[in-house]
Amino acid sequence: MAERADAARNRAAILRATEELLSNFPPEEVSIDRVAAKAGVGKGTVFRRFGDRYGLMRALMVQRAEALQTAFTSGPPPLGPGAEPTERLLAFLDGTLELITNNLGLIAAHERAAVAGNHDDQPVYRPGIVT
């Protein structure tokens, strides 16, 4: 089923607000209340859409990872198809490193939310441990 236009706008506004707040505040200061206020939606809208803070941070991480995936599967070389394999691998590693370094606040917020909640159905990554 297609997403309603108002739901899509709210989703985009919430993710944009989260991104902006994470770029301006430490992860522990980016609350659902703050995100909702910044996005111009009610707190309940954020909870209905994303479930909790973990779901919100996870959605933003997925959005960012999908951008790298799209560039890899259908973007121009050297990251996209058509490049020499070694050049493409190096471009992928550069893209992955850039994704991580540009999203340290998001990664920290995601990890804090994962540890704070009970998310047995979602993988939680900790140094040296993959569950």
Cβ neighbours of residue 10 closer than 8 Å, sequence gap 6 or more: 39, 41, 45, 49
Q: Stretch 114-125: mean pLDDT, rounded? A: 59
Show me where the domains of the chain are located: 5-120
Across the range 32-48, mean pLDDT stands at 95
Q: Which CATH class is domain 5-120?
A: mainly alpha
Q: Which of 65, 95, 101 is nearest to 79 (CA)?
A: 95
- Quick: pLDDT tens for 80-119: 999 999 999 999 999 999 999 998 889 888 888 888 875 5
* Residue 31 clears pLDDT 60, i.e. is over it: yes
Helices 5-24 and 53-74 cross at an angle (nearest 10°) of 100
Check: CB of residue 51 under 8 Å from CB of residue 90.
Answer: no
Average pLDDT, the chain: 87
Average pLDDT over residues 46-73: 92
